[in-house]
Structure 1
Amino acid sequence: MKIGYRTLKTSVGTPVSILLAQWVGLSNFISAGILTILCIQPSRKSSFLSAWQRFIACTASVVFSCVIFELIGYYAFSIFLLLLLFIPAMVALKATPGIASSSVVMLNLYGSGNITLHLIGEQFVLITIGLGVGLLLNVYMPSLDNKLKKLQSQLERNFSRILYEYSLYIRDENDKWQGKEIAATEDILTEAKNLVIRDKDNHLLRNEHTYYDYFNMRERQFELLKHMLPLVTHLPKTDRIALEIAAFFERLSKAVHPGNTAITFLEQLKELRREFHAEDLPETREAFETRAHLFQLLHEIEEYLIIKNKFKKSDVTPWKKRKSEKGS
């Protein structure tokens, strides 16, 4: 059984809050532990936001409790009326996550049977200890880089396999592939996006996030890979251009990595396009449909490469630039 950081923080923070509240001499010291449990969040950003919302809600609950309990009395009906007014007010203040925390303070005041300034002061000390300990623990967040790198590697292996299987399918050499990498890739992208959001929220002062841009780029490419599948299945196994596209897919499958060599493949794609346009015009409906599928597939491949080329600076020199450098 694996114990997560959030569980560990909760386990440490709760008794620390209770001990601090006892040491200070608060009567409702257990409430400090409850507030800490509610304050532990999966990221720094959500932790600060949660603490602020809970502070607003707890402060408001003191005000509402003083008014309702002192005017109507300490009855169950008073709690009903209090919550009936309090919850919509928190929704309006956008502090709904703090409703549970504020209920702790509210019930402390109700249980006293007599609200005094000393009791109100105790509640604010409880709030400070409970939320403060939770915030301090959430300052430390484990790095997610290793998990993101692992997902990146898995994603690239799947991309490589999908492209290679496309090449085999066109050559009519693929009769066992079930496409499980496509479903697995969707799961990887979902998990990666969730982790990236958490990692972004842990770096409050950093605007750019490499992994966010990377997985966003791969998600756009993956959509194109899925668009390519029905086009690949409609290609004839004897068409010369189709077979060249199969060879292109195979080369591309060996070049799936974090770097950017897309410019090389874009140059190769231009050559393929020239060969495609040099072909004789189709004479039959079947040949015309094949030509249309080929044209659409070349367009999808080009979009796939352009997305990668825009993602980061190229790792290779474009052919035209290499040619001019050799001549100079």
Structure 2
Amino acid sequence: MKIGLRTLKTVVASALAMFIAQQLHLLYASAAGIIAILSLGNTKRASLSAGLGRIFSLFIAIIIAFICFHLFGYSPWSFGLFLLVFIPVSVQLKISDGIVVNSVLITHFLVEKSFSLQMLINESLLMLIGVGLALLMNLYMPSMQKDLEQDIEKIEEDFRTIIYDLAAHLNLEKIAPLEKNCERLKQKIRLAQNRALVHQENRWTYEQDYYTEYFSMRRTQVRLLVDMVTLLSEINVDGLFVDDLRKVLIMTAQNFAEENDGQQILAEIEKVYQAYREKALPQSRAEFENRALLFQFLQSFKSFVEIKAVFYQGKVKSF
């Protein structure tokens, strides 16, 4: 049985919270441990957001409970009325994470039949201790940078393979492996994006994260690859018309990398455009339609490269 870091954090935060509450002689000290468990999020920002939300939610809950209990007494019906008001208000204020834990804390007032200053301090300390220990445990988060760099390497290798295959399949009808490879690449990028979001959420600053932007750029490129694969199955032209394009595709695959600014490839694409302009006009409708598809393929490929070129100009890797 493997015990993960989050499990260890949960155990330590909960036990410490209960211990501190007991040492302070607080009533219902075990509640501090439960609050710590519930406040330990997957990321630093998630923990901070949940913790602050629960503290604010406790303030709202105490006001509503004070009114309900003083108007209708300390009874289950008053507690039901409290929930009838507290839950919709929490949802409206977008602090619904605090509904369960603060409803439990309010039952302490119900059991003690008191809203004394001592009880108010008691419940506030239970919340602060639980939330504080959760935030303290989440100050350390293992770096995901190495995993993200590996994701980049694997994704770029898949891009290279698909582009090589595009070059090999020009003027061929069988493209099933290309379609499957594009779908697998989409899935890899989606998983990498999720990892990048977690990486970003574990940083206190809110500037745009390089990795989230990078994988978003690659995901846009995959959509264009899918369009190119679809066009590929319909293209049927003289081999002379695809030789130059095949060479550019192979060059792109050979130089496909995170650091490539795409400018050389764009220059080669312009040469292909110029070569097409200099060729003889189509002699039949079928030939015209096939050349149009080839031109559309080249347009999509140019857009594919331009996306990376724009990204390269606007982004600098930061850690």
Q: Give TM-score scaled by structure 1 length.
A: 0.89
Which structure 2 residues correspond to residues 75-86 of structure 1 after superposition, within 5 A? 75-86=75-86
Q: What's the offset of the Cα at 1:178?
A: 5.7
| Aligned residues between the structures | 314
Answer yes or no: is the 8 Å Cα contact 2:178–2:229 preserved in 1: no
Deviations 1:168-199 (A, max 9, x none): 21154967726332122111222222222222
Deviations 1:41-77 (A, max 9, x none): 1222222211111001112222222222232123222
Give 2:109's aligned residue. Answer: 109
Which structure 2 residues correspond to residues 218-237 of structure 1 after superposition, within 5 A? 218-236=218-236
Give 2:317's aligned residue. Answer: none
Separation (CA, whole Å) in 2 of partners of 1:28 and 1:55: 17
Separation (CA, whole Å) in 1 of partners of 2:2 and 2:174: 41
Which structure 2 residues correspond to residues 281-292 of structure 1 after superposition, within 5 A? 281-292=281-292
2:154 equivalent to 1:154? yes
Which amino acid is 2:113 matched to?
A: G
Q: Return 5+ residue gaps in structure 2 as ranges.
A: 315-319
Deviations 1:260-300 (A, max 9, x none): 14111111111111111111111212101111111111111
Which structure 2 residues correspond to residues 17-32 of structure 1 after superposition, within 5 A? 17-32=17-32
Aligned to 1:205, the other structure's residue is in SS state coil
2:27 equivalent to 1:39? no
Aligned to 2:177, the other structure's residue is in SS state coil
Deviations 1:291-314 (A, max 9, x none): 111111111111111111122259
2:53 equivalent to 1:53? yes
Give 2:64's aligned residue. Answer: 64
Q: What's the offset of the Cα at 1:237?
A: 6.0
Which amino acid is 1:15 matched to?
A: A
Label 1:2 to 1:236 Cα distance change in 2 as closer, same or farther (>3 A). Answer: farther
Separation (CA, whole Å) in 1 of partners of 2:132 and 2:88: 26
Which amino acid is 2:307 matched to?
A: I
Q: Return 5+ residue gaps in structure 1 as ranges.
A: 315-328
Separation (CA, whole Å) in 2 of partners of 1:30 and 1:261: 57
Separation (CA, whole Å) in 2 of partners of 1:220 and 1:252: 17
Q: What's the offset of the Cα at 1:78?
A: 1.6
Answer yes or no: is the 8 Å Cα contact 2:172–2:233 preserved in 1: no
2:169 equivalent to 1:200? no
Label 1:176 to 1:303 Cα distance change in 2 as closer, same or farther (>3 A). Answer: closer
Which amino acid is 1:165 matched to?
A: D
Aligned to 1:222, the other structure's residue is in SS state helix
Aligned to 2:208, the other structure's residue is in SS state coil
Separation (CA, whole Å) in 1 of partners of 2:137 and 2:109: 28
Which amino acid is 1:97 matched to?
A: D
Label 1:273 to 1:2 Cα distance change in 2 as closer, same or farther (>3 A). Answer: farther
Q: CA RMSD in A?
A: 2.1
Give 1:322's aligned residue. Answer: none
Separation (CA, whole Å) in 1 of partners of 2:159 and 2:20: 53
Q: What's the offset of the Cα at 1:206?
A: 5.1
Separation (CA, whole Å) in 1 of partners of 2:65 and 2:29: 19
Q: What's the offset of the Cα at 1:200?
A: 1.8
Label 1:154 to 1:8 Cα distance change in 2 as closer, same or farther (>3 A). Answer: same
Identity of counterpart residues, as a percentage?
27
Q: What's the offset of the Cα at 1:16?
A: 0.9
Label 1:290 to 1:241 Cα distance change in 2 as closer, same or farther (>3 A). Answer: same
Answer yes or no: is the 8 Å Cα contact 2:36–2:133 preserved in 1: yes
Answer yes or no: is the 8 Å Cα contact 1:162–1:182 preserved in 2: yes
Q: What's the offset of the Cα at 1:111?
A: 2.3
Give 1:323's aligned residue. Answer: none
Separation (CA, whole Å) in 1 of partners of 2:248 and 2:174: 16
Compare 16-25 and 215-224 and name the one that shifted more: 215-224
2:253 equivalent to 1:258? no
Which amino acid is 2:48 matched to?
A: F
Deviations 1:5-40 (A, max 9, x none): 332221211111111111111120010011111111
Which amino acid is 2:136 matched to?
A: L
Separation (CA, whole Å) in 2 of partners of 1:175 and 1:90: 53
Label 1:175 to 1:31 Cα distance change in 2 as closer, same or farther (>3 A). Answer: closer
Which amino acid is 1:141 matched to?
A: M
Separation (CA, whole Å) in 1 of partners of 2:120 and 2:212: 45
